[in-house]
Amino acid sequence: MTEQTKNKASFKEQMDSAELKAPELYINREMSLLAFNRRVLEQAKDENTPLLERLRFLCISSSNLDEFFEIRVAGLMQKVVMESVAAGPDNMSPHEVINQISEQAHDLVAEQYRVLNEILLPALEQEDIRFVKRQEWNAKQKAWVKDFYEHELLPILSPIGLDPAHPFPRILNKSLNFIVSLKGKDAFGRTSGMAIVQAPRALPRLIRLPQDTGSGSNDFVFLSSIIHAHVDDLFPGMKVQGCYQFRVTRNSDLFVDEEEVDDLLRAVEGELPSRRYGDEVRLEVADNCPAEVCDFLLSQFDLTEKEMYAVNGPVNLARLMNLPDKVDRSDLTFPAFTPSLPSRLAFSQDIFQAIAKGDLLLHHPFESFLPVIDFLKSAASDPHVLAIKQTLYRTGPDSAVVDALVQAARAGKEVTVVVELRARFDEEANIALANKLQEAGAHVVYGVVGYKTHAKMILVVRREEGKLRHYVHLGTGNYHARTARLYTDYGMLSSNTELGEDVHKLFLQLTSLGRSSKLTKLLQSPFTLHTGMIERIERETAVARAGKPARIIAKMNAVVEKNIIRALYAASQAGVQIDLVIRGICCLRPGVKGVSENIRVRSIIGRFLEHTRVFYFQNGGKEEIFASSADWMDRNLHSRVETCFPVEDKKLRERMVRELGYYLDDNLQAWELQSDGNYLRTTPGKAEPSSAQQRLLHQLCQND
């Protein structure tokens, strides 16, 4: 047995040891996700953040929590119903996890409304941005509201009295509703005592009051306040004894039987309507709702008291997300900036010539997303381009990327697009763009049944001097122009022959049938990415055991996969210095004596959503650095099609390592994970204040 084989066997044995499988070494995934939402909420309290952006952070924490219930809690509740006792590495059963979620989520929701009522609303009022309460309306405001109610609201309201002929209605997922308690008899002698009023989805939840009513330029009323004020008018001759907001959250995960499905497009289309009426998982009610009315609602939704959240304010905080767009106060938002262009692109008339000179790296949003769109537009109009192939996961409405692909298809080029129909909450939009592409003459496929296509890649085939040449774009984020201004992501443009051939093989794998081909440069899920990461962690471990410096830096959204975590623990025990920059979920527990003392974990929460996935290995001085579409999660490594690409240009590699260093030096927006599972926010202390995002803005952007 060779020394290398012995080391491999030793590493595997260490990974499989009972010591590294101990449940106390693993943080529960759901608890870690709730902790991330708490860090987001903390941004709403940060006085160094512009006021309207603080409101956005509050809304983001609320919408994140919605999705958490729609997907994660819903899945756990299904497991409890099925009496599943399967536990993760932390050894918590689904029932135990749900109980902990209930306790922590109730605390989180209470804090969200405290931040709204005690911090943000008073601060907004000081800036003359007001939400005028009913009891504060003057005579002109009351008259205007009444006119709005009669002409804009009343014609589309359909109050439903509850009786044997009018059973409790099906309540749309996350819609705003009111339960009204009544006394007296209606025109037909009915005395049900209860009615439901559903707020129209067609109307905004925030309505600006005109200045001629004595209001300021930024005075608003909630649609719910208008309904409350005039609910009596909906039930003439009866007495309204109470009117209370409520909202129900439902299971929103789509189910497609992948063994039985014949047509994935039709299957997903058929499942979309059910998302609106999935099983109930959470009830939110106004905190002044009487106990007997709450009990009535709980019984209708088959929920228990621990699934009910009584809130002191609007039942959907995320609706406040639109306020900054309604208020012209640039002094209360983040300063505008202009993303830069790499100099080679800025001074080149031909993007293909620019790429042919060497790989180009783009760091969004600090560097512009326009080169990606220009790459596609140039390919669409270039007579030497024969084919374009691209994966699409999320693109957004009115996508310039899709328009370029349509243009190329209409120009007679071979356009192949792998559209992932099951991109959560974007399924409907993706079906629409798939139809648009097909109508233009593009070949549209939907990836591999059972494996979401999450890879971000473009291949352009161009004839040059009688030969075909491949140009590629590979990225860590979606081809979505709007999120490219909000998310941090890396993208690389390259004409490297081996890289182009790998991307070509991947597209063949996605669109045809056959065994996976061996790739030269790329690592790919579900085949080589997981083993490739384990092997590189093992290699660093061998270097450390030989008494040499060994280092791993990894930046991504989440670390969950148990074998990766065990490999990192084994590496730490050998002396490998490991820095993890993990925005969201981290199930690894750092700083445990004898196990993870050499692992440090930090989370950066700032203006931009950290989305880059970068993996650095010191490799005995022969540094390797990769960027990827995949996090270290089970789904990314085992049940998705993902790409992980090397950055081999020395200057680009040095740049990425330098930028990783900014995140490790950040002492303004960083949170450090402690061995007890809590996060502590860093402070500069005596050190120079440093923010990674601010440094990148300063170095790469221009302030508008």
217-260 pLDDT, tens per residue?
Answer: 999 999 999 999 999 999 888 899 999 999 999 988 744 344 44
Q: Are 594 and 573 in contact (CB under 8 A)?
A: yes
Task: Name every residue whose Cβ is closer than 8 Å to that of residue 686 and which is 6 or more positions away in sequence.
Answer: none
Q: Is 178 helix (H, G, I), strand (E, B) or coil?
A: strand
Q: Are 177 and 244 in contact (CB under 8 A)?
A: no
Mean pLDDT of 392-412: 88
Angle at alpha carbon of residue 248, lines to 245 and 249, rounded to 5° = 140
H-state helical runs in 585-691: 634-638, 650-665
Q: Of 30-39, 484-493, 513-522, where does mean pLDDT reach its minimum?
A: 513-522
Could you tell me the CA-to-CA distances from 139 to 26, 143, 211 in Å, in that order?
60, 6, 13
Which amino acid type is present at position 543?
V
Whether 190 has a pLDDT exceeding 90, the answer reads no
Q: Are 297 and 179 in contact (CB under 8 A)?
A: yes
Task: Label residue 152 by pLDDT band (50, 70, 90).
Answer: very high
CATH topology of domain 524-703: Endonuclease; Chain A (3.30.870)
Question: For the chain, what percent of residues have pLDDT higher than 90?
Answer: 76
Long-range contacts, stretch 147-152, CB < 8 angstroms, 24+ apart:
148/207, 148/226, 149/226, 149/229, 149/230, 149/233, 152/203
Tokens of 23: 């449940």
Which amino acid type is present at position 404?
A
Tokens of 672: 């450090």
pLDDT digits (tens, 9 = 90+) for 616-661: 999 999 999 999 999 999 999 999 999 999 999 999 999 999 999 9
Could you give the residue range(s) of every CATH 3.30.1840.10 domain in the chain? Answer: 131-261+279-332
Whether 1 has a pLDDT exceeding 70, the answer reads no
Of 402, 393, 345, 396, which is closest to residue 373 (Cα–Cα)?
A: 402
Phi-psi map region of 421: left, alpha, beta (phi>0 left; psi -120 to 50 alpha): alpha
Name which CATH class applies to 337-521.
Answer: alpha beta
Could you tell me the CA-to-CA distances from 51 to 120, 329, 331 in Å, in that order?
8, 10, 9
Whether 269 has a pLDDT exceeding 50, the answer reads no
E strand or H helix at 467, and its extent? strand 467-475
Q: Are 491 and 501 in contact (CB under 8 A)?
A: no
The pLDDT value given to residue 446: 82
C-alpha 293/C-alpha 247 separation (Å) is 14
The pLDDT value given to residue 702: 66
The pLDDT value given to residue 271: 45
C-alpha 274/C-alpha 251 separation (Å) is 9
CA atoms within 13 A on the CB side of 17: 15
Which amino acid type is present at position 433?
L
Q: Are 276 and 201 in contact (CB under 8 A)?
A: no
Whether 262 has a pLDDT exceeding 60, the answer reads no
Could you tell me the CA-to-CA distances from 369 to 124, 399, 488, 629, 688 in Å, in that order?
34, 13, 11, 17, 32
Catalytic residues: 454
C-alpha 520/C-alpha 645 separation (Å) is 10
Q: Are 281 and 70 in contact (CB under 8 A)?
A: yes
Instruction: Identify which has the larger pLDDT, 285 or 162.
Output: 285
pLDDT digits (tens, 9 = 90+) for 358-400: 999 999 999 999 999 999 999 999 999 999 999 998 887 678 9
Which amino acid type is present at position 148?
F
Q: Is 534 helix (H, G, I), strand (E, B) or coil?
A: helix
For domain 131-261+279-332, the CATH superfamily is: Polyphosphate kinase middle domain (3.30.1840.10)
The pLDDT value given to residue 210: 95
- Burial (CB count <10 Å: 0-12, 13-18, 19+), residue 351: buried
Whether 694 has a pLDDT exceeding 90, the answer reads yes
Could you tell me the CA-to-CA distances from 567 to 22, 505, 529, 533, 563 in Å, in that order?
14, 30, 14, 9, 6
DSSP letter string, 191-233 = ---EEEEEPPTTS-SEEEPPGGGT--TTEEEEHHHHHHHHGGG
Could you tell me the CA-to-CA distances from 704 to 341, 342, 697 in Å, in that order?
15, 19, 12
pLDDT digits (tens, 9 = 90+) for 14-60: 888 999 999 999 999 999 999 999 999 999 999 999 999 999 999 99
- Burial (CB count <10 Å: 0-12, 13-18, 19+), residue 398: exposed
The one-character DSSP state at 166 is B
Q: Of 9-23, 94-108, 486-500, where does mean pLDDT reach its minimum?
A: 9-23
Instruction: Give rounded-to-5 percent helix, strand, coil for the chain.
Output: 45, 20, 35
Q: How many CB atoms lie within 10 A of CB 453?
A: 25
C-alpha 681/C-alpha 42 separation (Å) is 10
- Burial (CB count <10 Å: 0-12, 13-18, 19+), residue 686: exposed
The pLDDT value given to residue 422: 62
The one-character DSSP state at 578 is E
The pLDDT value given to residue 258: 42
The one-character DSSP state at 152 is I
Could you give the residue range(s) of every CATH 3.30.870.10 domain in the chain? Answer: 337-521, 524-703
Whether 482 has a pLDDT exceeding 70, the answer reads yes
Instruction: Identify which has the larger pLDDT, 1 or 521.
Output: 521
C-alpha 154/C-alpha 231 separation (Å) is 10
Q: How many CB atoms lie within 10 A of CB 280?
A: 20
